[in-house]
């Protein structure tokens, strides 16, 4: 059974552990538990559990009442390909249904773009070079609600 559990700063250890397992040029990784706790406090974050085991997390921010930004969707590689990220993203998008603008940034080569497209995100054509100071570009995708 997959479920989302609201994260608290005490979940920083799991956040760091999962982030380290999903580390790639497609995502930013927080390795410091204190920084992870701050990230959890600054956003709406859910730990993703499968049969009681924490295997991922998803987070978003609300920079304005009419805007939500999907920060992260991370699933441990050992659990990818099972619909876990899709379940989590769908659950969060259900929460954000009334928000006029929901967007995210992702690496142009990130296979997760397929997940985002399946949930109604469309690329805008906007490209941000050196996103987050990582040296890697990101494309912006916007949720086109149907």
| Residue 94: domain span | 2-143
Q: Looking at the predicted structure, is the pLDDT value of residue 9 above 70? A: yes
Beta strand spans in 1-146 (E): 2-6, 44-50, 53-64, 67-75, 101-106, 121-128, 138-143
| Domains held by the chain: number | 1
Confidence of residue 13 (pLDDT cuts 50, 70, 90): very high
The per-residue pLDDT of the chain, averaged, comes to: 94
Q: What is the CATH number of the domain that holds 66?
A: 3.40.630.30
pLDDT in tens, 26-85: 777 788 999 999 999 999 999 999 999 999 999 999 999 999 999 999 999 999 999 999
Supply the pLDDT for residue 110: 92
Instruction: Give the integer Cα–Cα distance in Å for 81 and 58.
Output: 16
Q: Looking at the predicted structure, is the pLDDT value of residue 126 above 80? A: yes
Q: What is the mean pLDDT of residues 106-114?
A: 93
């Amino acid at each position: 059974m997959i479920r989302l559990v609201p994260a608290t700063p005490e979940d920083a250890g799991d956040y760091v552990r999962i982030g380290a397992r999903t580390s790639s040029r497609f995502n930013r990784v927080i390795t410091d538990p204190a920084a992870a706790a701050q990230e959890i406090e600054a956003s709406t974050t859910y730990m993703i559990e499968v049969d009681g085991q924490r295997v991922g997390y998803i987070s978003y921010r609300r920079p304005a009442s009419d805007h939500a930004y999907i920060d992260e969707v991370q699933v441990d590689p050992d659990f990818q390909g099972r619909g876990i990220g899709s379940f989590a993203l769908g659950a969060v998008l259900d929460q954000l249904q009334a928000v006029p603008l929901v967007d995210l940034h992702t690496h142009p080569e990130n296979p997760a773009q397929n997940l985002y497209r399946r949930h109604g995100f469309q690329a805008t054509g906007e490209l941000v070079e050196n996103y987050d100071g990582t040296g890697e570009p990101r494309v912006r995708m916007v949720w086109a609600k149907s």
